[in-house]
Amino acid sequence: TQQLLLQSEKLTVAGQLAAGIAHEIRNPLTAIKGFLQLMEAKLTDDKTYFDIITSEMDRIEIILSELLTLAKPQDMKFVKSDIEQILESVKTLIDTQALMNNIEIITLYETNIFSIFCDENQLKQVFINFLKNSIEAMPDGGKITIELRSHGIDKLKLLFIDEGSGIPDHILNRIYEPFFTTKETGTGLGLMISKQIIENHNGTLQIRSDKKGTIVEVILPIF
């Protein structure tokens, strides 16, 4: 029953998104079609059109792969997992990218070992989303801190603290909107999907920000 509930929740989101998705996919496709027509009209050695076509194709792929996280409810697999292990594997995945941007990722774990009931891949995707956002907000490098502590008797609290540009007040209430992005090549899907996944895990997501940076707070039930 819980599985069914999760599925129907996800489908509702997918349904709400349909119109927006169609629109977002149509824009790059229109560009591709236009450039193909230009190529047909005057065949030259110029490869510029090919570059644009390739990058627009990449964009479609990124958007679709982010959406696949939501569109494949049958792939959800909830198992008992160790949150610390999940965080460590996420850190390993993202560390190279962080180092290339002069960013150090620091982890502060409380000594307790926390088990949670979760879909590991989906949670990993969520944490990668947060860390990518932090890296993208820190062009001059700096430090990202991941904190794990207990919260009450039956929950854990996870904090992702960065030293980035922060989120201006007037856009803070828009960051979960599908396709809302302040980045030239952003998809604006990361936080919307992350919020959905955390809520599917009976958790909460809160993001606050000031001039010193951004704090992403996740609360999840302990198994």
Instruction: Return the closest-CA partner of residue 59 out of 100, 28, 26.
Output: 28
Q: Toward ligand ADP, which CB reaches closer, 132 or 221?
A: 132
Judged by CB under 6 A, does residue 28 bind ligand ADP?
no
Q: Toward Mg ion, which CB reaches closer, 133 or 209?
A: 133
Stretch that binds ligand ADP, among 36-44, 49-57, 87-95, 130-138 (CB under 6 A): 130-138
Interaction mask 113-152, Mg ion, x per CB under 5 A = --------------------x-------------------
Query: Which of ligand ADP, Mg ion, none does 94 bind, CB closer than 5 to 8 A by kind?
Result: none
In the complex, what is the shortest distance from the CB of residue 63 to Mg ion, in angstroms, rounded to a whole number?
Answer: 12
Q: Which two tokens stand for residue 80?
A: 């008992």
**Beta bridge partners of residue 81, listed in sequence order:** 116
User: Of 157-186, which residues contact ligand ADP (CB under 6 A)?
Assistant: 162, 164-167, 175, 180-183, 186
What letter does residue 187 receive in the DSSP assignment? -
Q: Is residue 184 a contact partner of residue 170, using CB atoms and an 8 Å limit?
A: no
> How far, CA to CA in Å, does 12 sit from each of 55, 80, 125?
31, 27, 21
Interaction mask 109-128, ligand ADP, x per CB under 6 A = --------------------
- Residue from 28, 164, 178, 190 touching Mg ion (CB under 5 A): that is 190
In the complex, what is the shortest distance from the CB of residue 204 to ligand ADP, in angstroms, rounded to a whole number?
Answer: 17
φ, ψ dihedrals at 112, nearest 5°: -60, 145
The span from the CA of 77 to the CA of 159, in Å, is 24
The span from the CA of 5 to the CA of 128, in Å, is 26
Q: Is residue 114 a contact partner of residue 222, using CB atoms and an 8 Å limit?
A: yes
Query: Interface residues with ligand ADP (CB under 6 A)?
Result: 129, 133-134, 137, 162, 164-167, 175, 180-183, 186-192, 214
